[in-house]
Amino acid sequence: MAEEKNPFQTAQAQFDKSADILGLPEDIREMLRWPMREFHFRIPVRTEDGAIKVFQGFRVQHSDARGPSKGGIRFHPNETIDTVRALAMWMTWKCAVADIPLGGGKGGVIVNPASLTPVEKERLCRGWVDQMWHNIGPRMDVPAPDVGTTPQMMAWMMDEYTKLQGQYVPGVFTGKPVDMGGSLGRTEATGFGVIFTVREAMKHLGLNPSQCTAAIQGFGNVAQYAAIGFRDLLGGKVVCVSCYDLADRCPYTYSHPDGVDPRFLQSITDQYGTIDRAKAEAAGYVIEDAMAWIDKDVDVLIPAALEDMITAETAPRIHKNVKIIAEGANGPTTLEGDEVIKSRGIFLIPDFLCNAGGVTTSYFEGVQNDMNYYWAREEVVERLDQKMTVAFHGVLDMAQQHKVYMRDAAYLVAVDRVVRAMRLRGWV
């Protein structure tokens, strides 16, 4: 049996495939197969009982050819350097495909944030910055929240950096609270971005959005706003959403004969994206098993929960009437699942194009911080729509020109843009 690849080996294999199609020379491959630089450091934190705990921290800057590195910081007990490297490389491609002037980075700390008190969390955040402040900044590398980190933590980190610099530098972190230099429209950005790409795919396929239906997996940040956007921006009907039930320790699908009301469901959903089952049942929702969303007779499937959901086993269950799969989540489709989608000719909007609305709005946050002038929510959403629409068509044109699958086309667009920047800068 083939040895399972770690995430970084997978990311490298995906890059190699695009490099082959683009015919990239060895020197360029050597530069892009590995991060440009990475930092490994120890962070001592005094706990509330007076002891010192030492945590392992990382920051990987994969490429800054197109601009400062950009990417979140994860606080997770299973964090590894290879996960951080892979995520940093994917950020390079995501920023390039969205055509925002940023490169790719990612950071992490090996820690279970739930094991820390709020005071200890703040000390860990400040400790991370104390180790990294010489190598981050609005013109160098701009971190953001990710798994296990929050807008409040970004505010502490920005404050620490500002103290060390001796001047106010809000643009060093994005994903800050709106009252502390964050951008309006960030909450809905990823889900709405998904819907803008779905709208363009419908135009391309000649579908009338108001007559289309969707099944969505997940009901966290991305899925909630994808559901709201599908109904309110496109006029379509969402037949179901799903979520993991923390009490029962298993996921369920929630459907409604008249289509779900995402605003109502949002009002009975907790901060972890878990719907209150009793309240949903009382409102006439039908509760089905975890993967029921994938069997639905709908036009659009939006996996927006976790990775590895569309697999060799589940992909054959996709209904014959499904025309579009929009990957709201990162990596929801395995290699085998991808082969099924490809062979059935379903139109795919690949993850790092489909969910680029989040990082695009983080870029807008940095722009507003630089200007020290803040846009209205409507302006943010309108600019996001423009960016996502142009990004979608860049990938579609590539797919049509080279007669390749949309996922391969997205890689080709992204890698080509990064390589062009490297050549223009005289690096290769």
Q: Which of 180, 283, 290, 428 binds ligand NAD (CB under 6 A)?
A: 290
Residue 71 or 273 with smaller CB distance to ligand NAD: 273
Q: Is 243 in the site for ligand NAD (CB under 6 A)?
A: yes
Helix, coil or strand: residue 286 = strand
Closest CA relative to residue 216, chosen from 193, 191, 182:
191
218 near ligand NAD, judged by CB under 6 A: yes
**Among 285, 258, 260, 280, residue whose Cα is nearest residue 269:** 280
Binding mask 180-209 for ligand NAD (x = CB under 6 A): ----------x-------------------
Nearer Cβ to ligand NAD, position 107 or 273?
273
Smallest CA-to-CA distance from 200 within 358, 319, 326 is with 326
CB of 328 to ligand NAD, least distance (A): 6
**211-227 residues labelled b (16+ CB within 10 A) or e (exposed):** ebbbbbbbbbbbbbbbb
**Nearest residue (CB) to ligand NAD, 329 versus 398:** 329
> Quick one: 127 or 182, whose CB is closer to ligand NAD?
182
- Asked if residue 358 binds ligand NAD (CB under 6 A), the reply is yes
- Position 287 contacts ligand NAD (CB under 6 A): no
Residue nearest to ligand NAD (CB): 220
d(CA 226, CA 262): 9
d(CA 87, CA 84): 5
Q: Is 251 in the site for ligand NAD (CB under 6 A)?
A: yes
Choice between 75 and 244, CB closer to ligand NAD: 244
Q: Are 318 and 346 within 8 A, CB to CB? A: yes
x/- binding map, residues 134-173, to ligand NAD, per CB under 6 A?
A: ----------------------------------------
Instruction: Determine phi and psi for 47, rounding to 5 degrees.
Output: -80, 170
* Residues facing residue 105 across a β-bridge: 61
* Total of chain residues touching ligand NAD, rule CB under 6 A: 23
Q: Is 41 exposed, middle or buried (0-12, 13-18, 19+ CB in 10 A)?
A: middle
* Choices 11-19, 117-125, 326-334, 372-380; region in contact with ligand NAD by CB under 6 A: 326-334
Residue 274 contacts ligand NAD per CB under 6 A: yes
The answer to whether 120 touches 109, Cβ cutoff 8 Å, is no
- R_g of the chain, CA atoms, integer Å: 21
Q: Please state the closest distance from residue 250 (CB atom) to ligand NAD, in A.
A: 8
Q: Among residues 223 and 324, whose Cβ is nearest to ligand NAD?
A: 223
Residues annotated as part of the active site: 106
Q: How many CB atoms lie within 10 A of CB 123?
A: 20
Residue that is written with structure tokens 């579009």 in the block: 324
**306 is a contact residue toward ligand NAD (CB under 6 A):** yes
Is residue 273 near ligand NAD by the rule CB under 6 A? yes
User: What's the rounded Cα separation, in Å, for the pair 333 and 307?
Assistant: 7
Residue 268 makes contact with ligand NAD by CB under 6 A = no
Q: How far apart are CA 154 and CA 208, in angstroms?
A: 41
Binding site for ligand NAD (CB under 6 A): 190, 217-223, 242-244, 251, 273-274, 290, 304-306, 328-330, 355, 358
